[in-house]
Amino acid sequence: MSEYLYIHIPFCVRKCVYCDFLSVCHDEAVAREYIDALCRELALKKGFAGELKSIYIGGGTPSLLPNDCFTQLFKCLRDGFKFSASPEITVEANPGTMDESKINALLLLGVNRLSIGVQSFNDNELKTLGRIHTSEEAARAIGAIKKAGLKNFSIDLMYGIPGQTMDSWKETLSRATWFSPNHISSYELTPEKGTPLYEMVKSEESNPPLPPFTKGGMGGLLKKIKMPDEELVLDMFGYAIDYLSSKGYEHYEISNFALPGFRCIHNMNYWDRGEYIGAGAGAHSFIRSLRSKNAGDIKKYIEITGSGNIPEIESIKLAPSDEIKEFIFLGLRKTEGISILKAKELGIAFPGACKELIDEGYLEITEGLLRLTRKGLPLSNMVIVKIFENLEL
């Protein structure tokens, strides 16, 4: 019985150039049909849930939904699920779609954590990313959150943005901490295949064509751009660790920082390989070593739930080797690392399988835990691939 629930709201004003998550342009009529479908799916999946410790509503841009849609959704949740005494209930929000009315409506429904996609406090960088808000709008949205009395909120930031400098990154971090959020996520911008950003970086053309992914906002052509140098990106990563640590934030996962007691419970469950239920188009679930995926097409998702069926289109039972890979990949994202004892229970030959990486300073063993060093953290993917090769996975 899972105690963690993820709900996907796929609607956006427009898609950002770097985003490879499932999202579509907002249409209120479709969104209302979607919430009806979501409630049908939740009713079908309530038997898989125990008392919920966490509900995470992500997207897309969930804060685009009309307030009455949130009211409908939370009625379905409270009618069908049991909540623990103090569940973490998070909603992702875009500063351009937040106001006092929205914030107060969410708080009245029981939302006790907001994750704000600021990304940068530099307007030129926001334009490069295709964001719909300005730095001033981000500041106003955060101010409204604090005015409403919500103490638990997170700010998402990005580094490695084309045109970003170390000085502008320092300014973004300084402005973010000025608001005293309990949590900050700091992600490296990576051009993912299939996104406009990928085309802008990889294309040989000076003006690659705009993919048919969204409407408006960038005209018909994209401008070819260059990503920052790798050395600068590594310096930005290191500066974020040092600066945020000096402000009292605990660096508990490669990309995440929290004040004491404010780690994201929901995401910790992912990294610990805990079970979770996913609801919504394209959402994933993990129950009893079975990973399943919902239909990603909005129309198909609505049709399947309308026929009274769970909208899963793919289900995979993890092989033992896949279980081991996930244990290593997800566990090493946490700065505390993974238990050597637990690894041995899974049949993993630690520390032998990573002796070379330890000798080279990418990994270390402390108090029975294998973890990435400061040198290894920004190169985690390379380190993990090497471990897999050594284990012949």
Enter the tokens of residue 347: 């049949």
Maximum CA extent, the chain: 59
Structure tokens given for 234: 């590594």
Task: For the chain, give the percent of residues with pLDDT over 90.
Answer: 78
Q: How far apart are CA 43 and CA 37, in angstroms?
A: 10
Per-residue pLDDT tens for 122-178? 999 999 888 889 999 999 999 999 999 998 999 999 999 999 999 999 999 999 999
The identity of residue 56, as a single letter, is Y
DSSP codes of every residue in 150-202: ---EEEEEEES-TT--HHHHHHHHHHHHHT--SEEEEEE----TTSHHHHHHH
Tell me which H or E stretch contains 114: strand 113-119
Look at residue 223 in the predicted model and tell me its pLDDT. Answer: 65
CB 264 within 8 A of CB 154: yes
CA-nearest of 137, 149, 142, 148 to 181 is: 142
Residue 29, token pair as written in the block = 């009529």
Least Cα distance to 7 among 371, 153, 45 occurs for 45
Burial 113-129 (b: 16+ CB within 10 A, else e): bbbbbbbbbbeebbebb
pLDDT of 204 over the 70 cut: no
pLDDT of residue 222: 52
Is 276's pLDDT higher than 90?
yes
Does residue 236 form part of some domain?
A: yes
Quote the CA–CA distance of 372 and 355 in Å, as a whole number: 13
Q: How confident is the model at residue 292 (pLDDT cuts 50, 70, 90)?
A: very high
The Cα-based distances of 317 to 64, 86, 320 in angstroms read: 35, 32, 10
CATH number, residue 367: 1.10.10.920
Q: Does residue 287 sit within a domain?
A: no
Backbone φ, ψ for residue 383 (5° rounding): -65, -45
Same domain, 250 and 375: no
Phi, psi of 297 (to 5 degrees): -75, 125
- Say if residue 204 is exposed, middle or buried (CB neighbours under 10 Å; 0-12, 13-18, 19+): exposed
Is the confidence at residue 216, as pLDDT, over 70?
Answer: no
Percent of the chain with pLDDT over 70: 94
- For residue 97, is pLDDT > 70? yes
Number of domains the chain is built from: 2
Model-level pTM?
Answer: 0.92
- Residue 213, pLDDT score: 42
Question: Does residue 80 form part of some domain?
Answer: yes
Across 48-76, average pLDDT: 96
Which residues, other chains included, contact 244 with Cβ-Cβ below 8 Å and sequence gap of 6+?
A: 173, 177, 184, 186, 251, 257
Q: Residue 326 sits in which domain range?
A: 319-393
The percent of the chain in helix, strand and coil, each rounded to the nearest 5, is: 40, 25, 35
| Segment 356-382, tens digit of pLDDT | 999 999 999 999 999 999 999 999 999
204 within a domain of the structure (yes/no): no
Q: In this structure, are 128 and 242 located in the same domain?
A: yes
Q: Are 19 and 94 contained in the same domain?
A: yes
Candidate from 117-121, 200-204, 308-312, 344-348 with smallest mean pLDDT: 200-204
Helix (H, G, I), strand (E, B) or coil at 135: helix
3-state DSSP call for residue 68?
Answer: helix
- Note whether 255 and 371 are same-domain residues: no
> At residue 335, does pLDDT exceed 70?
yes
Residues 252 and 366 in one domain: no
Which CA distances in Å does 251 have to 104, 237, 264, 376? 31, 12, 12, 14
In this structure, are 42 and 116 located in the same domain? yes
Residue 143 lies in a domain: yes
CATH of the domain at 106: 3.80.30.20
Instruction: Give the type of residue at 60.
Output: G
Query: What value does the mean pLDDT of the chain take?
Result: 91
Q: pLDDT per residue over 221-271, tens digit each?
A: 456 778 899 999 999 999 999 999 999 999 999 999 999 999 999 999 999
Which region among 3-12, 20-29, 336-345 has the lowest average model confidence (pLDDT)? 20-29
Same domain, 231 and 350: no
